[in-house]
Each structure stands twice: as structure tokens, then as C-alpha cells.
Amino acid sequence: MVSAQIDHLALYAGLSGYPKIDTTDPRHFPYLLSSAPHVEDLGGKWAANPNYGNDIVKMVQDIQSIKVEQEETKNTLKDLENHWAEEEIEFIVEKGELKGYDDNTFRPDQPLTRAEYCVLRARQLGFVKKKIISSIKPTVFILDPGHRVDTPGKRANGLLEYEFNEDVTRRTGKLLESHGEVYYTIETENHPYSEMTAEGRSKNLNFRTNNANQIYDKAIKEDKKVIFISMHANAASNPTASGYEIFVYKMGGEAHEIAKHIYNAAENILGVGNTIKSRRIKEANFAVLRNTKMPAMLIEHEFFTNVEAVKKLKDDDFRDLCAKHIKDGLVSYMA
């Protein structure tokens, strides 16, 4: 077949001895139409189109120019030629473990800095920058139902303060379960000291704060965040006293910051500042705030000594909202 093609081309070119009688070219002509010693000469002679030869030459040139371009982009580093490590450097660069500089140099004899070594090793080990989804630590909520069933002076208008505190504490705990770990400072059946005496009340306060601090010590080792909330309803000798307030040990700290979020939620959800008097965030030297190691708040939801306010404290829907505003405030703080 190769000899046939050569005979065919030779015929086109008009070489002496052509047309040939003895040829394997099946398309060999017995006569010579014209001679075309160059490809450009084919047009108008062997081909009807006068540009035929020139078009072919142009196509060949186009193909050649594409090849040249590919070769140029392959080797972008200008200062590797004839370097003793040229092949090894090109191998490493192709692997993506080291790159050249912006000016397309590799600077093969420049010393490697410690930072460059770390980048090199990290790339070798497959390091991929992780997108930080959230910097929020897992959170532990310690909920404290204030007082006890037998704490003196905590009943008015048919409501025992502890009954409200205990109920709202458990409702809040249920809502917080999907946002972190929930612990309680006391369980109903776990009540070691009678609160009928000052000594018993003091021991119970220590029992709560010790419990909370033990949970805190463990959680901190596990790099968790801990927040303490003591649940209360308020009392006053003045029966017209009313309103909502949050106590922290010191203003300006993290507890104060968390309290602001809970306070905002109280305004939106409980109607504090509207249907409930706003008594704001305040400092107080309470044992559960003073003796706890984690940010701690004590929330006074309303006054059970107030005939109107106590209706809310007894109301099932209002208690749900009390739990919800604490959960929403904490979630907002953690966001």
C-alpha cells in the first residue's frame, strides 16, 4: 500500500517516468493531467478548487502551531534547564508537592525555610484545609430548682415556690436536651438535708454548688462549656411588687453576656417590659452564683406574693414559655 501511495503522489508531482505502466496504485491515471511539484500547485490543476493546495498547507501550519503551544505550557519554570536536579524537581512539581514562584522561577539553589518544609510535608501527608463549621464547644447545662418542699416562707397565694421552680426546671431541661448535656443540682428524691433549719439550708446550698462544680471539673477536662441556671419565683412583703429579673454575681462577665440573651428572649416570649414589669439584670451575692465555678444566673420569673402575677406562675402555658425563653436565650448565646 505504501508503494501505491508513492506512485500516486509521484503522478501528481509529474515526476519523470510517470504515469507508470507497472504500478500497484489502483487509481493511477494512464495520462498526466499536469505537474504539481509543490502541494500549493495542486489547486486548479489536479484539484478543481484553486485554493486546494494553499488550504492544505494552512491546515498543516495550524496543526504545527498547536503542538508548539502545548510544549510551551508544559514547562513553565524558567530556571531549571541543565540544573543537576531538573528531572527530580519537575517530578515533584508535577506531583503538586512543591510549586514555583509567581515569576515562573523555581530558584533550585535557594535554601528551604522551616515554614516551607512544613508546607511540603503537609502536602505530602495529604493535608486539606478544614472548613470550620462551628467554633462552639459542646455545652453542659446545669439546672437548679431553687429551694425545697420544706423551705420555710416560700408559699403564698396557693403556690409553693419550689413546685414552680421544679416544674420549670424539668421543662427547660427537656428543651435543652437537644442542645447539650443537661444536669440537675438536685433530684426530687435526693434531698439529704431538711431546710427547716438555717444549717440545713446552708448545707443544701453547698450540696448544689458542689454538685455543679464536680460536673464542671469533669466537663472542662473534656473541653466542654458549662452554664448554670437557678430557677425561681420571687417573693416580697409588698404584695404589689411584680416583675422579672435575672441575677448574676458580677456584671460584665460571661454570665452577664448570657443573661442578656435570656433577657432578650424574656422580652420577646414572656412579654417582659410589656405585660410583665422589667426589673432588669442585677448583681447579687447569692451562694449559687458566688460559689459556682461556671457562668451562673438566677432567674426570678415573677412574684408569687402578687395575686395577679401568681396566676401566671400557676399557668401551664406560661411555664412552657418560661422554659422556652431560657432555651431560646441560651441557643441565641451559643449561635
Closest to Zn ion by CB, 41 vs 245, is: 245
Question: Does residue 145 bind Zn ion (CB under 5 A)?
Answer: no
Provide Rg for the chain, Cα atoms: 44
CB of 298 to Zn ion, least distance (A): 8
Closest to Zn ion by CB, 146 vs 243, is: 146
Of 43, 145, 146, 329, which lies in the binding site for Zn ion, with binding defined by CB under 5 A?
Answer: 146
One DSSP character per residue, 244-297 reads: EEEEESSTTSHHHHHHHHHHHHIIIII-BTTTB-EEEEEE---HHHHS-SS-EE
Site size toward Zn ion (CB under 5 A) is: 2
Of 8, 148, 232, 261, which lies in the binding site for Zn ion, with binding defined by CB under 5 A?
Answer: 232
Q: Which stretch binds Zn ion (CB under 5 A): 37-45, 192-200, 228-236, 249-257?
A: 228-236
Q: Which residues pair with 183 in a beta bridge?
A: 142
CA gap 297, 287 in Å, rounded: 11
Q: Which residues pair with 165 in a beta bridge?
A: none
CA gap 325, 321 in Å, rounded: 6
Q: Which stretch binds Zn ion (CB under 5 A): 80-88, 166-174, 194-202, 227-235?
A: 227-235
Closest to Zn ion by CB, 52 vs 244, is: 244
Cell of 35: 505537474
CB of 272 to Zn ion, least distance (A): 18
Q: Are 231 and 246 in contact (CB under 8 A)?
A: no
Q: Which stretch binds Zn ion (CB under 5 A): 42-50, 142-150, 190-198, 321-329?
A: 142-150
Q: Build a one-symbol-per-residue string for 29-58: x at contacts with Zn ion by CB under 5 A, - elsewhere.
A: ------------------------------
Q: Which stretch binds Zn ion (CB under 5 A): 93-101, 140-148, 208-216, 223-231?
A: 140-148
Chain-centroid distance, C-alpha 127: 18
State which residue has the least CB distance to Zn ion: 232
Closest to Zn ion by CB, 232 vs 325, is: 232
- CA dihedral defined by 90, 94, 96, 101, rounded to 10 degrees? 50
Closest to Zn ion by CB, 42 vs 298, is: 298
Q: Which stretch binds Zn ion (CB under 5 A): 78-86, 186-194, 226-234, 260-268?
A: 226-234
Q: Which residues of 294-309 are buried (b: 16+ CB within 10 A; e: fewer)?
A: bbbbbbbbbbbbbeeb
Q: Which residues contribute to the site for Zn ion (CB under 5 A)?
A: 146, 232
